[in-house]
Amino acid sequence: MSWLEGKVIENRHWTGSLFSLRVAGVGLKFEAGQFVRIALDIGGERVARPFSFVNPPADPVLEFYGVVVPEGPLSPRLARLRAGERLQVASNPAGFLVLSELPDAETLWLLSTGTGIAPFLSILRTETPWQRFRNVVLVHAVRHAGELVYQDLIKGTNVKYLTMVSREAHQGSLPGRIPAAIGDGSLEAAAGLRIAPETSQVMLCGNPAMLKDAAAALAARGLRKHRRRSPGHITVESFW
């Protein structure tokens, strides 16, 4: 593994704590859904963290979507980067939250909390989901409606887009959390589609507690973890 130096060309701030970095000058081969470590040199030390690609592989400008964790060593500094500044990018993208690992199914469910939407934005901008699945559903669950980012991009695809807002009432969004909405059937009702082992592949990304609770709610429907050696229906990526 080596480090490649990229140049920030934009740092868009969606809210006080949510930002999207666009980085030019780094050519990388990856599959949509993967991540790469990005780094800054802080006090003489290279501080690196994994970030999922938001851009599709065909786009030469890399894009990353982040949240400021106020006490975190790297994210507050990433949020302060300006156009023209440098960012280190590792040369070895990785990760298994990719469609090439998934069995075929009728419906692909992409379930995310917070910044966990990032890898799904990359996947949705490739041809593969539309070629392989009859239905593709994206669920983005956030605390506040202002965190429902990338809406124009999402609405420009054929995805069935469902939003959930947990800490305020928001017209057009489901209340509460993903696992409860799986359990009580409200997610399926909103999508007009069933979650069932015969028809569904589910990818989940974001908060580790959500991944655990959602996997339990899906297990109650007969879905199980997907593994290469024992194919199933649930593929997860935890952000911490």
Q: How far apart are CA 112 and CA 211, in angstroms?
A: 9
- Residue from 21, 68, 154, 205 touching ligand NAP (CB under 6 A): that is 68
Residues 6+ apart with CB under 8 A from 33: 52, 95, 97, 98, 99, 119, 120, 122, 123, 203
239 binds, among ligand NAP, ligand FAD, none (CB under 5 to 8 A by kind): ligand FAD
Q: How far apart are CA 61 and CA 55, in angstroms?
A: 7
Per CB under 6 A, 205 contacts ligand NAP: no
Per CB under 6 A, 119 contacts ligand NAP: no
For 11, list phi and psi in degrees, rounded to 5. -130, 95
Q: Which helix H or strand E contains 154, and what residues bound it?
A: helix 151-155
Residues 46-85 interacting with ligand FAD (rule: CB under 6 A): 49-52, 64-67, 69, 72-75
Residue nearest to ligand NAP (CB): 114
- Residue from 166, 186, 199, 238 touching ligand NAP (CB under 6 A): that is 166
Residues 6+ apart with CB under 8 A from 189: none
CB of 88 or CB of 238, closer to ligand NAP: 238
Q: How far apart are CA 197 and CA 218, in angstroms?
A: 9
Residues contributing to the site for ligand FAD (CB under 6 A) = 35, 49-52, 64-67, 69, 72-75, 95, 114-115, 118, 237, 239-240
Residues that bind ligand NAP (CB under 6 A): 17, 67-69, 113-115, 141-144, 147, 166-167, 177-179, 206-207, 209-210, 213
